[in-house]
Amino acid sequence: MNWVVFAILALLALTAVTVARLRQLWAAVMFTGIYSFLSASWMVILDAPDVAFTEAAVGAGISTVLMLSTLALTGEQEKPTKRSPLVPLLVVTITGGALIYGTLDMPHYGDPNAVVHQHPDPSFVEKSLEDMHGLPNVVTALLASYRGYDTLGETTVVLTAGIAVLLILRRDEFDRPAIASRAKRRQRKANA
Amino acid sequence: MIKFPIIRVITKLLIPYILLFAFYVQFHGDYGPGGGFQAGVIFASALILYGLVFGLDAIKRVAPPIVIEKLMALGVLVYAGTGFATMLLGGNFLDYDVLEHSLNHKYLPGGQHLGIFLVEVGVGITVTSVMTMIFYAFASRSRFV
């Protein structure tokens, strides 16, 4: 562990607190983008470039754009609340304490005897090069081949989520005249 | 549509590299970090960047919503179709090993490599089009693009 680790973790905590305190939503969205970039750097340090990739592309890239377009639909200012912040603070503190208590049982970082490196099957790592006829990336081999069903399900989930967003949000150009004429008819009936 | 010339020029310079990087991540995923999910998002982000700078009408000419809508389902079909193809060749669902000797080896990789390749292409198509479609859904409701 070197100072970069602590610097990134400190910046993550700082950004999180800033996002929680901001009332200007546009700035808060920007800070969540910064938070995603910091998490991506943290994932690189943890030797997970795949996750870092995804975090940078999805968290900092696309979701920032989507949140900004949401702000364009709703508004940039958060309404001030009148309720006391004490109860939420207490809940957050207890939850955080429980989470830290949970990490006490966890094995040390990079421990070769950790359960995750023993339990599912070490042979994935040992055999994948041979099974895949020379493809060196174990992560891809696991995702696309050993667990192909799982990834098929995930892709279907992405499709389903996309369809759901479209059903809720889309304004169909083709439907609009029909809706307009229906509204007009209803108006005429109400007048008559 | 943004009026600033610097942003427009820089965007035009950047987009080809973003697309190239997306293809690299897609097709190099078997060897380095990456794969369909990441590549799809990067590809979509290039499209969305174009849309943000040049306007919704410009991006809809590049990637028509009707096509993108069909691509959303096509990706899943490519994935599941690979599974059914392996079944037709006598294996189990998504058992890529049966692809080993079924195709011309001179031009195409065989077996697991081909299977993973096809499946990742399916994932990439679906993720790209879903992300782009969600952007369309948001952008055509708001006034900021």
Report the residue from B110, B115, B144 with minimal CB separation from A69: B144
Average per-residue pLDDT for chain B: 87
Q: What gap in Å lies between CA A58 and CA A36, rounded to an integer? A: 9
Q: What is the mean pLDDT of residues B129-141?
A: 89
Q: Count the residues in chain A.
A: 192
Locate the DSSP E strands across chain B.
Answer: none
Distance CA B17, CA B46 (A): 9
pTM for this entry: 0.82
**Chain A: residue whose CA lies nearest to B33:** A50
Quick one: pLDDT band at residue B90, thresholds 50, 70, 90? confident
Q: Which of A57, A131, A162 sits opposite B45 (nearest CB)?
A: A57
Measured between beta carbons, which residues in chain B are less than 8 angstroms from residue A145?
A: 94, 96, 112, 115-116
Q: Which pair of structure tokens corresponds to residue A59?
A: 């968290």
* Residue-level pLDDT at B80: 93
**Which residue in B has a C-alpha nearest to residue A162's C-alpha?**
B130
Q: Quote the ipTM score.
A: 0.87
Q: Which residues contact A163 (CB under 8 A, 6 or more apart)?
A: B72
* Residue contact B41–A158, C-beta within 8 A: no
Best of A145, A146, A147 to disrupt the B interface (most B CBs within 10 Å) is A145
Q: Which residues of A touch B42 (CB under 8 A)?
A: 57, 61
In chain B, % of residues over pLDDT 90: 55
B11 interfacial to chain A (CB closer than 8 Å): no
State the pLDDT confidence band at B107, using cuts at 50, 70 and 90: low
Ranges of residues in chain A with a pLDDT under 50 are: 174
pLDDT at A174: 47
User: What are the tens digits of pLDDT across the range B57-80?
Assistant: 899 999 999 999 999 999 999 999
